[in-house]
Chains A and B, each alone.
Chain A
Amino acid sequence: MTGGVRERRDQGAAGPSGSGTGSAAPEPIVSLRGVSKSFPGVRAVQDASLDILPGEVHALVGENGAGKSTLMKVLAGVYRKDAGRVLYKGKEVEIPTPRAAQQLGISIIHQDLSLMPHLTVAQNVFIGRERGGLFNLLVNDRDINRRTQQLLALLHLKMDPRTKVSSLTVAAQQLVEITRALSFHSEVLIMDEPTAALAEAEIEELFHIIRQLGEKGVGIVYISHRLHELKQISDRITVMRDGRTIETVPTREASIDQVIRMMVGREIFQASPQVLEREAPEVVLEVRNLRRGKAIKDVSFTLRRGEILGVAGLMGAGRTEVMRAVFGADPPDSGEIFIRGKRVHVKSPRDAVRIGLGYLSEDRKRYGLSLGMDVENNLVLSAFKKFLGLLGWVRRAATRDTAARFIDLLAIKTTGPQQKVKNLSGGNQQKVVVGKWLAADTEILIFDEPTRGIDVGAKSEIYRLMNDLTRQGKSIIMISSELPEILRLSHRIVVMSEGRITAELDAAQATEETIMRYATVRSGGSQSLHAGESAP
């Protein structure tokens, strides 16, 4: 009797895909079926399905905002799905917390580093699992140090488990994240842009580790924007677009062009950069020998009227630091700044605004907007002086007109000037920031990751807007980590690595490969390697 019941249950668990140890179709470790997840105002994932097979490297690609990270965060217990099913070895499971995911054997390396910088390497690796002795209230540092040492040895890493994470470079911190993910002995390992901060050699080594894990039967989900990388490492590719899973194809049968076509899927702003009106328009901004601590090492560049200067580089290369220094937010140690040939001293953002510089932060919610205020007040905020009458009285009619003008000009989708900015979509918030600077008669706009967290359609509008601005004679510096964006929009591109400008490229000649090569030039690291080689 009981035998029969068990038999039937086994059949049920095996599911339609069939079980057995045959090499033809291994049973997926995890299957996502029709998963949806919405946030206020955004349908991040809609009806997405995905199988993760043991031992495969499954690449998940799509444009920013396509829903890759969100889908994986649902699987890792960070978000709770609104609809759909998650099957673990054929059985439906709920994954309400990160811990539940860990217990199922699903671990994730998040896109942005999620480490505790004040803790040591070992403490980070074993956070949540460091207990031992006295009713499990004590932490056993000796034990976690030893186990971390073993894991590090497995990965051939020479790192002291007792080092504080804050004293490691971004690349080394990334390795700590990988070590932590491996420490769970997971069956499914999700890597969200693991190579974003790594150099070529480091990426090679990471791939070596990934292949080893694959041989042990670990199913790996690999999210990356670097399509060439995927060709090298993945077995299958799933493309996501606008929150949906579009298609899953075996990597060897898919060309990169084909994948890109599936990713984009719709008409997107493709205009090549506007040709500059004159051969060499006047230089509006020149920065010479800018230095600030370890972040900025002797940076010089120029910006011409009507030009978009793309600033490329990896995370932590010092791009934002340079622009913040130019803008006076973090005054540099030394260096000169010239506006239209005249030396200026920018000691604070106030000075910068006065001479016509505008900075659009990558974190617009924190630095660019007063979210609780309405569209009108945000638009006129930095030009408030213009609207003051007698005794500091605000001339409402004037602010209303200006707001209406910019809402119209920038095609901001809003219910009206009185709508709270926090209720706008990301793209429209970005437009409000742009409008704010335009209202203040800004000539030079510094865009720091202008399309981060903005969906594809709105992105295209932002591109068009930037293009229009340059046609009106504004000059733009654009920091972006998305190479296609840099290549598509810039007239000229400077590439940064470790606080230095390593290349200045003409947009017509630059490719993703050349940019990446210069972005991964390591000044300090390569020197020490050479020294090691030449030593007897």
Chain B
Amino acid sequence: MKQVSLGEIAAGTARKESRLHSAAARKFLAFGGLIGLVIVFSLASPYFLTFDNVVGILLATTVNGILGLGATFVIITAGIDLSVGTVMTLSAVMMGVLISNWGLPIPVGILGGMATGMLAGLINGVTISKMKVPPFVATLGVMMAARGLSLVISGSKPIYFTGTPVVRGLTMDSLVGALIPRLDVPNAVFFLFGAAIMASLILGKTVLGRYAFAIGSNEEATRLSGVNVDVWKAAVYALCGAFSGLAGVVMGSRLNSAQPALGAGYELDAIAAVVIGGTSLSGGEGTILGTIIGAFVMSVLINGLRILSVPQEWQLVVTGGIVIAAVYADVLRRRKQ
């Protein structure tokens, strides 16, 4: 009788899956789409690829991109966060209150803004993991509450940072421009890339990232493995909140004011960026690079259509179509597997 070792079985029966078919392929899809858009728009308009316009696109991506970073973590756990937009606004308003109304030092204001976001995220997380409220409902509640609180705290009026020009300079000045005069890319862009690198490290190198994937992949199995799922889930939402807080700081700085009425609808743009970037709403899969590409797909699209004088209403229609097309492409790819 021939003896078969387990090794042969394990090696022999492992279904062959080229890595191209997984996460990389999804990113490639989004990246290919982005390149395609850039080519189309640069052929359609000579203005599209000018330095000013490219900087404009980068700048327009910052807030949505940073929100998308946080949303990526949540969506990888197979959750959803609808509150990122209004929490961003609340964070900006808190920063405004701390700096302009109370006259506290600017760093305190910035940290206060981010802490506000993190706290809101933590409330999301605890509601979801301890109270077992579904993410959709929990974050819907926080979304509404944060919107209301922004209006209450600010008295429904914008809070300006006119007394502290440093706030605006934080994102709108250009450190690079100071060194290389012709290359005045505003700092905001580097906030986005810095945050993206940070998010990428957290997702790839820390236990928080690992458990986000594990929870999204099989929550019960993760729990049975002895991982404190509740705590890590709450931490993921808190992290998402912190990114919303950062987006609020960048937003406030860019507008030189905290606009309490802004923010609703941003959560959907952020989720769209994540989804275009190939992160699966059913959890367990996703990348930061994908989200960044997704965010750029959206802002390139809006920018290009605007240059081609497509009315704003139609820009929305096209963006909606792109979101569905991106996910459909992914569904097709999965079906082939």
Tell me if B163 is interfacial: C-beta within 8 Å of chain A.
no
Contacts of A524 in B (CB 8 A): 12-13
- Looking at the assembled complex, report how far the CB atom of A391 sits from the nearest CB atom of chain B, in whole angstroms: 35
- Looking at the assembled complex, report how far the CB atom of B59 sits from the nearest CB atom of chain A, in whole angstroms: 33
Please provide the chain B residues from 211 to 238 with a CB less than 8 Å away from any CB of chain A in the complex: 213-214, 216-218, 220-228
**Among A128, A157, A159, A206, which residue has its beta carbon within 8 angstroms of that of B225?**
A128
Contacts of B182 in A (CB 8 A): none
**Closest chain B residue to A139 by CB distance?**
B210
Please state if B207 and A116 are interface contacts (CB–CB under 8 Å): no
**Among A114, A130, A136, A532, which residue has its beta carbon within 8 angstroms of that of B210?**
A130
**Among A116, A155, A199, which residue has its beta carbon within 8 angstroms of that of B222?**
A116
**Closest chain B residue to A113 by CB distance?**
B221
**Closest chain B residue to A98 by CB distance?**
B226
Please provide the chain A residues from 166 to 201 with a CB less than 8 Å away from any CB of chain B in the complex: 166-169, 171-172, 175, 199, 201
Please state if A159 and B14 are interface contacts (CB–CB under 8 Å): yes
Of B2-10, B102-110, B125-133, B301-309, which binds chain A? B2-10
Please state if B13 and A525 are interface contacts (CB–CB under 8 Å): yes
**Among B2, B9, B205, B220, which residue has its beta carbon within 8 angstroms of that of A525?**
B9
A119 to B226, CA, bound (A): 16
A445 to B300, CA, bound (A): 55
Tell me if B313 is interfacial: C-beta within 8 Å of chain A.
no
A158 to B218, CA, bound (A): 25
Please state if A171 and B17 are interface contacts (CB–CB under 8 Å): no
User: Please, what's the 1-or-0 string for A124-155, where 1 marks a CB less than 8 Å from any CB in chain B?
Assistant: 00011011000011110000000000000001
Please state if A167 and B210 are interface contacts (CB–CB under 8 Å): no
**Closest chain B residue to A141 by CB distance?**
B205
Please provide the chain B residues from 177 to 217 with a CB less than 8 Å away from any CB of chain A in the complex: 205-210, 213-214, 216-217
- Looking at the assembled complex, report how far the CB atom of A108 sits from the nearest CB atom of chain B, in whole angstroms: 8
- Looking at the assembled complex, report how far the CB atom of A473 sits from the nearest CB atom of chain B, in whole angstroms: 39
- Looking at the assembled complex, report how far the CB atom of A322 sits from the nearest CB atom of chain B, in whole angstroms: 19
A97 to B3, CA, bound (A): 40
Please state if B206 and A138 are interface contacts (CB–CB under 8 Å): yes
Tell me if B285 is interfacial: C-beta within 8 Å of chain A.
yes
Please state if A118 and B226 are interface contacts (CB–CB under 8 Å): no
Q: A156-B5, A525-B12 are in contact. Are A78 and B224 (CB under 8 A)?
A: yes
A528 to B221, CA, bound (A): 33
A139 to B204, CA, bound (A): 8
- Looking at the assembled complex, report how far the CB atom of B231 sits from the nearest CB atom of chain A, in whole angstroms: 12
Please state if A155 and B14 are interface contacts (CB–CB under 8 Å): no
Please provide the chain B residues from 1 to 28 with a CB less than 8 Å away from any CB of chain A in the complex: 2-17, 22
Q: Is the interface of B mostly helix, strand, loop or mixed?
A: helix
Please state if A139 and B6 are interface contacts (CB–CB under 8 Å): no
A-B contact number at CB 8 A: 130
Q: A138-B205, A138-B207 are in contact. Are A116 and B214 (CB under 8 A)?
A: yes
A180 to B311, CA, bound (A): 58
Contacts of B263 in A (CB 8 A): none
**Closest chain A residue to B7 by CB distance?**
A158
Contacts of B4 in A (CB 8 A): 201-202, 204-205, 529
Q: A99-B226, A157-B6 are in contact. Are A529 and B208 (CB under 8 A)?
A: no
Please state if B224 and A110 are interface contacts (CB–CB under 8 Å): yes
**Among A101, A156, A525, which residue has its beta carbon within 8 angstroms of that of B7?**
A156
Please state if B225 and A175 are interface contacts (CB–CB under 8 Å): no
* Most B C-beta atoms less than 10 A away, residue of A116, A156, A171: A116
Tell me if A117 is interfacial: C-beta within 8 Å of chain B.
yes
Please state if A116 and B6 are interface contacts (CB–CB under 8 Å): no
Tell me if B278 is interfacial: C-beta within 8 Å of chain A.
no
**Closest chain B residue to A108 by CB distance?**
B224
A527 to B5, CA, bound (A): 15
Contacts of A533 in B (CB 8 A): 2
**Closest chain B residue to A117 by CB distance?**
B217
Please state if B15 and A115 are interface contacts (CB–CB under 8 Å): no
Please state if A119 and B10 are interface contacts (CB–CB under 8 Å): no
Tell me if B284 is interfacial: C-beta within 8 Å of chain A.
yes
A157 to B11, CA, bound (A): 8
- Looking at the assembled complex, report how far the CB atom of B77 sits from the nearest CB atom of chain A, in whole angstroms: 11
Contacts of A119 in B (CB 8 A): 210, 213-214, 217
Tell me if A102 is interfacial: C-beta within 8 Å of chain B.
yes
Please provide the chain A residues from 78 to 135 with a CB less than 8 Å away from any CB of chain B in the complex: 78, 97-99, 101-102, 110, 113-119, 123, 127-128, 130-131
Please state if A528 and B217 are interface contacts (CB–CB under 8 Å): no
Contacts of A117 in B (CB 8 A): 217-218, 284
Please state if B14 and A163 are interface contacts (CB–CB under 8 Å): yes
A126 to B153, CA, bound (A): 47
**Among A113, A136, A202, which residue has its beta carbon within 8 angstroms of that of B9?**
A202
- Looking at the assembled complex, report how far the CB atom of B18 sits from the nearest CB atom of chain A, in whole angstroms: 10
**Among A99, A114, A136, which residue has its beta carbon within 8 angstroms of that of B221?**
A114
User: Please, what's the 1-or-0 string for B89-111, where 1 marks a CB less than 8 Å from any CB in chain A?
Assistant: 00000000000000000000000
- Looking at the assembled complex, report how far the CB atom of A67 sits from the nearest CB atom of chain B, in whole angstroms: 19
Please state if B12 and A528 are interface contacts (CB–CB under 8 Å): yes
Please state if B12 and A159 are interface contacts (CB–CB under 8 Å): no
Contacts of A167 in B (CB 8 A): 14-17
A99 to B7, CA, bound (A): 30
A524 to B10, CA, bound (A): 13
User: Please, what's the 1-or-0 string for A218-257, where 1 marks a CB less than 8 Å from any CB in chain B?
Assistant: 0000000000000000000000000000000000000000
Please state if B12 and A127 are interface contacts (CB–CB under 8 Å): no
A155 to B208, CA, bound (A): 31
- Looking at the assembled complex, report how far the CB atom of A501 sits from the nearest CB atom of chain B, in whole angstroms: 20
**Among B6, B205, B227, B228, which residue has its beta carbon within 8 angstroms of that of A127?**
B227
Tell me if A471 is interfacial: C-beta within 8 Å of chain B.
no
Tell me if A365 is interfacial: C-beta within 8 Å of chain B.
no
Tell me if A345 is interfacial: C-beta within 8 Å of chain B.
no
Contacts of B217 in A (CB 8 A): 116-119
Contacts of A136 in B (CB 8 A): 207
Please state if B207 and A169 are interface contacts (CB–CB under 8 Å): no
Contacts of B228 in A (CB 8 A): 99
Please state if A164 and B22 are interface contacts (CB–CB under 8 Å): yes
**Among B2, B7, B216, B222, which residue has its beta carbon within 8 angstroms of that of A157?**
B7
Please state if B221 and A171 are interface contacts (CB–CB under 8 Å): no
Contacts of B10 in A (CB 8 A): 157-159, 168, 171-172, 175
Q: Please give me the 3 A-B residue pairs with the lowest Cβ-Cβ distance, nearest first.
A: A99-B226, A118-B284, A201-B4
10 contacts between A and B (CB under 8 A): A78-B224, A115-B221, A118-B213, A128-B227, A137-B206, A155-B6, A164-B17, A171-B9, A204-B4, A205-B4
Other contacts beyond A115-B218, A127-B222, A171-B10: 20, CB < 8 A: A114-B221, A119-B217, A128-B226, A130-B210, A131-B207, A137-B207, A138-B205, A138-B206, A139-B209, A139-B210, A157-B6, A158-B10, A164-B17, A164-B22, A168-B13, A169-B15, A172-B9, A172-B10, A201-B3, A529-B2
A residues apposed to B, CB below 8 Å: 78, 97-99, 101-102, 110, 113-119, 123, 127-128, 130-131, 136-139, 155-159, 163-164, 166-169, 171-172, 175, 199, 201-202, 204-206, 524-525, 528-529, 532-533
